[in-house]
Chain A
Amino acid sequence: GAGVSQSPSNKVTEKGKDVELRCDPISGHTALYWYRQSLGQGLEFLIYFQGNSAPDKSGLPSDRFSAERTGGSVSTLTIQRTQQEDSAVYLCASSLTAGGVGTDTQYFGPGTRLTVL
């Protein structure tokens, strides 16, 4: 079946511009996660959506970052006024349920590589 998809796969932008990154989770998955991975680094948790509950935004690095999940499915991560330090791979994952944190297998997309010039 179809896995998690992300678009675009690569994005190059100029400093100060806004960007939108899209994630299509696996159909039926109620939980959706965004992570950031800088070159040679581990995964940095950004935000988590569970069903229709209010998302946990506490991992977002600044107020320039925001995310939405419409209709409990597709999610968009928006970065306003991009800075060079925002350059990274942004990974999205989904899981079937998240009744117990850490107990559900997360299925990751291929990521969006963002380069801010």
Chain B
Amino acid sequence: LAKTTQPISMDSYEGQEVNITCSHNNIATNDYITWYQQFPSQGPRFIIQGYKTKVTNEVASLFIPADRKSSTLSLPRVSLSDTAVYYCLVGEEGNNRLAFGKGNQVVVIP
């Protein structure tokens, strides 16, 4: 099973860039890497997805090295509303079971 490992929590000040790294050493060839954001009392919501190199959208950037054994979600200039749990998700080839990481609690401090 392709498991993911993330830091448990991290604090950041408003306006700073936040980088969250996820390890997925057993990622399969056809797997994509997806990140979700979850606010308290809500279901997770999609942030960004990538396969390799770099992906950028209006919310975040995702950096994936050539070996794809890790990925880094980058949130530019965070605000208080970015306080949430961030999950790294890797699809498991040949298996419909989907493994969320334990998530990273990001707290943005004024």
Contacts and interface: CB of A to CB of B under 8 A. Distances in A.
Contacts of A74: none
A102 B87 contact: no
Given A42-B100, A42-B102, A43-B100, A101 B43 contact: no
B32 A102 contact: yes
Given A42-B103, A101-B91, A110-B42, A33 B98 contact: yes
A101 B101 contact: no
Contacts, number: 73
Nearest to B43: A108
B91 A102 contact: yes
Given A43-B100, A102-B34, 7 more contacts: A100-B30, A100-B32, A102-B90, A102-B91, A102-B92, A103-B91, A110-B42
B44 A108 contact: yes
The 3 A-B residue pairs with the shortest CB-CB distance in the complex, in nearest-first order: A102-B91, A108-B43, A101-B91
A98 B97 CA distance: 12
A111 interface: yes
Interface bin, chain A: 20 to 34
Interface of B: 30-34, 36, 41-46, 49, 87, 89-103
B91 A109 contact: no
A106 interface: yes
B97 A45 contact: yes
Nearest to B98: A45
Contacts of B30: 100-101
A105 B102 contact: no
A45 B46 contact: no
B46 A48 contact: no
A110 B38 CA distance: 11
Contact of A101 (B31, B41, B49, B100): B31
Given A42-B103, A102-B91, A48 B96 contact: yes
6 contacts: A45-B99, A48-B97, A56-B97, A102-B98, A106-B36, A106-B46
